[in-house]
Structure 1
Amino acid sequence: MIPDDSRFESDPDELLPGDPPLPDGWLVDTVDPAVDADVDRLVELLRGHETAGRGWAGADRDGVLVEISDLGTRTRENVVVRDADGVIQAWGSVHDRAAGRMLYVHVVARDIDHRVAGACSRVLFAWAEGQAREVGAARGLAVQQIDTGAFADDPRQHAWLAGAGFDRVRSWWQMSRPVTPAEAGLVPDPERWEKNGVLFRAVGSADDGMPDEADLRAVHEVLEGAFTDHFNSREETFAEFVHRLRQDPGHRWDHWWLAEIVDAGAPVAAGALVATESISDDGPNGSYVDYLGVLSNARGRGVAKGLLHTVIADAAARDRDRVGLEVDADSPTGADGLYTSMGWTTAYMTQSWHKDVPVATPGVDA
């Protein structure tokens, strides 16, 4: 369930012992989503971080506001480092993602002195570890994982992460596939179609126009079951799952699909796909596959391929020009073969870096 109050510590001073090793006049501070200058600066920092790491920027205000707005205060916390003029030069964001897994965003300006940048980085890491102890203790854990990402071509970030005790644990292909208008006919109707005893359909709607809760729960159950043995899978409650996905700026209820086996009587949910809308500033929007899962007892029946055909046809019908997704580059399953055979190619690569933080304070019994 979603906590009524945040599990994080909102005062950074409580997590950073003594004076942070920053230049005179620099300070560690909170960020106010109502201050346009702060939001704009965070977007600027994140876009600079993306450009340095992969060659182009995609961050926008909506994405930043997910991290810092009041909507996410129960599961997120943020900190910034301001220079002597009050300009934000570094930003850390933590997200209580699921039991034992805390996501962490670590961004430092690219145009400041490298020694000052390193000092900012150390402050952010110290704050993040403090937050890991806070959220881990609130969840009753002995160890809390910090899970953060880096672009594969970002040596500065890699050096900082390794120096802070993080281990690179996984690589990911960020893939994209072009969509043509003709592919709107790839399936009979993205809302509902059937092939070989498998029914592919969008989640239903309740009388109030909201999605049918039973269908949403079916999607959650399928994904929890499909990813049980996957890398770094952590149990996420239904409330956590829905709350988190609704915060995505591209969230659309009509981008959720179920695949059901219907050749043996009552329909049985066997696969699910959750997508979002990718907003573009200078061209058509795209679709992005956040989740695609198939239960083990339904594999080999074309469920994954059928769901992918559905999201492609849906994107084409909406005049979108691409569908993106992420693939585990280190997975032994060879799942990437399906995507490449269907036209996906790798745009860039990212990495996952982890650090396990003991929750008990050193010298104090847990």
Structure 2
Amino acid sequence: MPLTVRAARLDDAPAICALLNEVDVLEIGHPETDLHTVEADLKHPEADLPQNSWLALAGDGTLVAYGLLWDESYAERIDVDHYVLPGHQDAGLRLLDRMEARAAAKAAANGVRRAVVHLNLNSAPTMDTALLEARGWRVVRRYHVLTRTVAPATDPAPVPPPGVRLRDCTAESDRRIAHDLLQRSMAEHFDFQPTGYETWLEDPANADLDWSLVWIAHLDGVGDVGALLARNDREAMGWIPTLGVLADARGRGLGGLLLRHAFAVFAERGRDVVGLGVDTDNESGAPALYERHGMAVHFAVHTWEITLPAPG
């Protein structure tokens, strides 16, 4: 069957969302991709869809594979997304050819000699990983998506210990503080890419952020030492993209306090499941923290990496 490969457009978002949900069903048993998330990816200022996106369409026009590339490092680190239906591995490879070539070209434009490309895939993906390995890709990291059920009866708002206060970020000044805290607390984490406040706000994914779901932990005599960013715009569950406590303030129960506070607020808003992602090799103690608070593995994700020479 003939195959057409072209760049994505914003009006392709519903078809892309349908493909991603078909992949979700095959990988984790049910759909978990929201249309607004796909649209935010396509609208991102760095997306450059004509150069950095690819659709593979079967002869009948059915979308069978999708790829997106973005460059937040402006150096050698390049990220890609790649989705393919199981019976269309040839289409997946066609997109990988283009994605790898584009990643190498981006690295050259950034003035570096190589591209270090990362791709996150479910641990049991629709992509044939033997094909990735044959091209030189390898797994370099493992993440878990964790979930926990919540309810008002079992998750009341926690009472902060003496000397600790939590506040939301409905004030503009607190939004900047929360961003700074999360950037600093995440700086040592694998694959972290620093992002300035204004650039972060320009991301369409943050356009409708509910700042009443972003909290700062303040420690008397020390100052603001941690923050949690939560989102209530996913259909499948309440979501916590980021939780961070500065290194000098860890071990005081602040991460757990922020987490329990988020559970309580989500339960109060009618959510019954809350989720987040964690690096299984995280050295800050986050995996153990989440386990202590009743979170369990929903599915696993592997980070695949390939290093490509930059042309010229």
CA contact (8 A) 1:147 1:353 kept: yes
Q: What is the rounded CA distance, in whole Å, between the counterparts of 1:50 and 1:76 in structure 2? A: 26
Counterpart amino acid of 2:230? A
Q: Which moved more, 1:145-154 or 1:76-85?
A: 76-85
What is the match of residue 356 of structure 1?
307
**Structure 1: where are the runs of 5+ without partners?**
1-22, 189-193, 206-211
CA distance in 2, matches of 1:316, 1:269: 26
State the AA in 1 paired with 2:19: L
Say if 2:59 is the partner of 1:84: yes
Partner of 1:222: 181
* Structure 1 residue 96 corresponds to structure 2 residue 71: yes
Which residue in the other structure is 2:163 paired with?
A: 197
- What SS does structure 1 have at the residue aligned with 2:274? strand
Residues in 2 aligned to 1:241 and 1:219: alpha-carbon distance in whole angstroms: 12
Q: Which residue of 1 aligns with 2:257?
A: 306
Cα displacement string for residues 252-290 of structure 1 (whole angstroms, at most 9, x for unaligned residues): 2222111122235xxx2210111111533xxxx632110
Tell me what 1:164 maps to: 135
Q: TM-score, normalised by structure 1?
A: 0.76
CA shift at 1:251, angstroms? 3.5
Q: Which of 226, 231, 253 lines up with 1:271 in the alignment?
A: 226
Return the letter of the residue paired with 1:223: L
Q: Which residue is 2:14 aligned to?
A: 40
Deviations 1:304-359 (Å, cap 9, x if unpaired)? 01111211111122121121111222334543222111111111111111222333
Q: Distance in 2 between the 1:42 and 1:297 partners?
A: 43
Aligned to 2:220: 262
Identity of aligned residues (%): 24
**SS of equivalent residue, structure 1 residue 269:** strand
Is 1:318 matched up with 2:269? yes
Please give the secondary structure, in 2, of the residue aligned with 1:254: helix
Shift of the 54–248 alpha-carbon distance from structure 1 to 2, 3 Å rule, reads farther
Report the count of equivalent residues.
308
| Residues 276 and 349 (structure 1), Cα distance of their counterparts in 2 relative to 1, 3 Å cut | same
The answer as to 2:297 corresponding to 1:297 is no
**Structure 1 pair 329/294, CA: closer, same or farther in 2 (3 Å)?**
same
1:132 paired to 2:103: yes
User: What's the offset of the Cα at 1:198?
Assistant: 2.0
- Alpha-carbon contact 1:62-1:249 (below 8 Å) kept: no
Residue 61 (structure 1) aligned with residue 35 (structure 2): yes
Deviation sequence 1:27-48 (CA, Å, 0-9, x none): 22122323xxx43332232122
Q: Distance in 2 between matches of 1:176 and 1:278?
A: 16
Letter of the 1:26 partner, please give it. L
Q: Give 1:137 shift.
A: 3.6
- Give the counterpart of 2:81 among 99, 105, 122: 105
CA 250–108 in structure 1, closer or farther in 2 if over 3 Å, else same: farther
Aligned equivalent of 1:252: 210
Q: 1:133-178 deviations in whole A, cap 9, x for unaligned?
A: 3433443333333221111123744223222322101111111111
Query: Which amino acid counterpart does residue 175 of structure 2 have in structure 1?
Result: L
Pair 292,319 (structure 1): closer, same or farther in 2 beyond 3 Å: same
The structural deviation recorded for 1:250 is 7.5
Specify the alignment match of 1:74 in structure 2.
Answer: 46
For the residues of structure 2 that align with 1:84 and 1:204, how far apart are their CA atoms?
Answer: 50
Distance 2:178 2:282 in 1: 23
Distance 1:126 1:152 in 2: 22
Larger Rg: 1
Q: Deviations 1:80-130 (Å, cap 9, x if unpaired)?
A: 1222333322211112234443321111223x4xxxx23212221121122
163 and 254 in structure 1: CA distance in 2 versus 1, 3 angstrom threshold: farther
Return the TM-score normalized by structure 2.
Answer: 0.88
Amino acid at match of 2:56: V
* Aligned 8 A contact 2:147 2:275 in 1: yes
> Of 28, 42, 52, which residue of structure 1 is paired with 2:5?
28
1:63-84: CA deviation from partner (whole Å, max 9, x where unpaired) = 222233xx32533531112223
Question: Aligned to 1:235, what secondary structure does the other structure show?
Answer: coil
CA RMSD of aligned residues (A): 2.4
- Within 2, Cα distance between the matches of 1:164 and 1:351? 17
